[in-house]
Amino acid sequence: MKIPNLETHSQEEALLSELLKKRRATVSFDGSLVPDNILLTILKAGIESPSGYNLQPWRFIVVRDAEQKRHLGEAAMGQAKVEEAGVVIVCCGDLHAPRSNNLDEVLAEAAKHGFSEDQNQRVREVINKTFNAPAGNAMGIAPDYAVWVNRHVMIAFTTMMWMAEALGYDTAPMEGFFEDKVKSVLTIPDHVRVVALLGIGKLKGQDKPYAGRRKLQDICFMEKWGENINLNEDG
């Protein structure tokens, strides 16, 4: 029996697919400023991201000041786009998020949204068990905090990147930086890791050409590692 075509091509899908096609990692920005309301929309998108137990371990430092951008650029291996961008959002992860008063704040907010004391208590117990357990614990989660914060921060990072693109701005993700130098420039405390930098602004000149991607069937498998993926374009 032929399965009827699903209505997968909604307006949202078309817009998102177009955005995905158009985005390039920006090589050079023209120095245009990013206004407050745009920046707020981008940051608000980031903090709506999902996170394990809703712990929201991301922390963002918005760098717009010319002098700070110059120092940050030096810490980012001299990448000129740091200074050229209207803004650089330095995306960090708080290693203490499961343990510190962050958890109290998260649960207090949940209570405001109707979560009961019982529910919150259960979450607190599970979190304490998970994050204080030794590696390979019964919860199946090794408390490798560097991996843990990276996982979450990159979701928020990516969400902000897409929001910036949707607002007509260009973006540059960056991992080329010396973490200790970035921390020193921005006075970031020890328990916070710098995960990635997101430059936002307006493109100067031409986008670099699209370098393509590896073939889907070479990197996506079905049911088991290495097993061919066999999906029908017609649904």
Ligand X SMILES: Cc1cc2nc3c(=O)[nH]c(=O)nc-3n(C[C@H](O)[C@H](O)[C@H](O)COP(=O)(O)O)c2cc1C
200 binds ligand X (CB under 6 A): no
Dihedrals φ, ψ of 127, to 5°?
-65, -45
52 binds ligand X (CB under 6 A): no
174 binds ligand X (CB under 6 A): yes
24 binds ligand X (CB under 6 A): yes
Of the ranges 36-44, 109-117, 119-127, 171-179, which one interacts with ligand X (CB under 6 A)?
171-179
Q: How are the residues of the chain apportioned to helix, strand and coil, as percentages rounded to the nearest 5?
A: 45, 15, 40
Nearest CA-CA partner of 123 in 109, 134, 144, 142? 109
**Total site size for ligand X, rule CB under 6 A:** 9
153 binds ligand X (CB under 6 A): no
8 Å CB contact between 81 and 25: no
Nearer to ligand X, 80 or 222 (CB): 80
Q: Closest distance between ligand X and the C-beta of residue 174, in Å?
A: 4
Nearest CA-CA partner of 147 in 93, 91, 89? 93
135 binds ligand X (CB under 6 A): no
DSSP reduced 3-state for 159: helix
The Cα–Cα gap between 167 and 42 comes to: 9
Residues of this chain, 56-85, that bind ligand X according to CB under 6 A:
79
Q: Which of 25, 110, 133, 141 binds ligand X (CB under 6 A)?
A: 25
Nearer to ligand X, 76 or 127 (CB): 76
The residue nearest ligand X at its CB is 176
The Cα–Cα gap between 76 and 72 comes to: 6
Of the ranges 46-54, 141-149, 169-177, 224-232, which one interacts with ligand X (CB under 6 A)?
169-177
Sort 4 into a burial class: Cβ within 10 Å, 0-12 / 13-18 / 19+.
exposed
Q: Which of 99, 173, 203, 204 binds ligand X (CB under 6 A)?
A: 173
Q: Which of 175, 190, 227, 233 binds ligand X (CB under 6 A)?
A: 175
8 Å CB contact between 1 and 171: no
User: Cα 80 to chain center, whole Å?
Assistant: 22
The residues of the shown chain that bind ligand X, judged by CB under 6 A, are 24-25, 79, 173-176, 196, 211
